Amino acid sequence: MTAHFMVIGNPIAHSKSPMIHQAFANQAGLDIRYARQLCPTDEASFIAVIEAFFNGGGIGANVTVPFKQMAFDYCQKNGELSNNAAAAGAVNTLYYKNEVLIGDNTDGQGLVNHMLSMDWQLTGANIAIIGAGGAARGVILPLIDAGVASITLANRTLVKAQDLIADLRENNATIKAADIQSCETSALTGDFDIIINATSIGLTGDKLPLSDGLTCSKAYDMMYGKSLPFLSHFENKGAVTSDGFGMLLGQAALSFLLWTGFAADVNKAKTALQDPALGDRFWR
Ligand code: NDP
Ligand 1 contact via 107 beta carbon (within 6 Å): yes
pLDDT tier at 284, thresholds 50, 70, 90: very low
**Residues whose CB is less than 8 angstroms from the CB of residue 16 and which lie 6 or more positions away in sequence, other chains included:** 248, 273, 282
pLDDT of residue 206: 79
Give the tens place of pLDDT for each residue, 4-52: 999 999 999 999 999 999 999 999 999 999 999 999 999 999 999 999 9
Q: Which atom, in ligand 1's list, is nearest to the CA of 131?
A: 9
The stretch 190-194 carries a mean pLDDT of 98
108 band by pLDDT with thresholds 50, 70 and 90: very high
> pLDDT band at residue 225, thresholds of 50, 70 and 90?
confident
The model's pTM is: 0.94
Ligand 1 within 6 A of 90 CB? no
pLDDT attached to residue 85: 97
CATH for the stretch 109-243: 3.40.50.720
Distance CA 212, CA 220 (A): 18
Q: Residue 68 catalytic?
A: yes
CA of 29 to the centre of ligand 1 (A): 36
pLDDT at 279 over 90: no
CATH topology of domain 3-105+246-278: Rossmann fold (3.40.50)
* 223 alpha carbon – ligand 1 mean position (Å): 9
Residues 133-190 have pLDDT tens digits of: 999 999 999 999 999 999 999 999 999 999 999 999 999 999 999 999 999 999 999 9
Choosing from 16, 68, 77, 270, the catalytic residue is 68
108 within ligand 1 shell (Cβ under 6 A) = no
Residue 172 near residue 86, CB atoms below 8 Å: yes
Taking the C-alpha atoms of residue 112 and residue 217, their distance in angstroms, rounded to an integer, is 16
Say if ligand 1 is within 6 A of residue 208 CB.
yes
Phi/psi of residue 282, nearest 5 degrees: -65, -45
Which pLDDT belongs to residue 278?
63
Q: Which atom of ligand 1 is nearest to the CA of 251?
A: 40
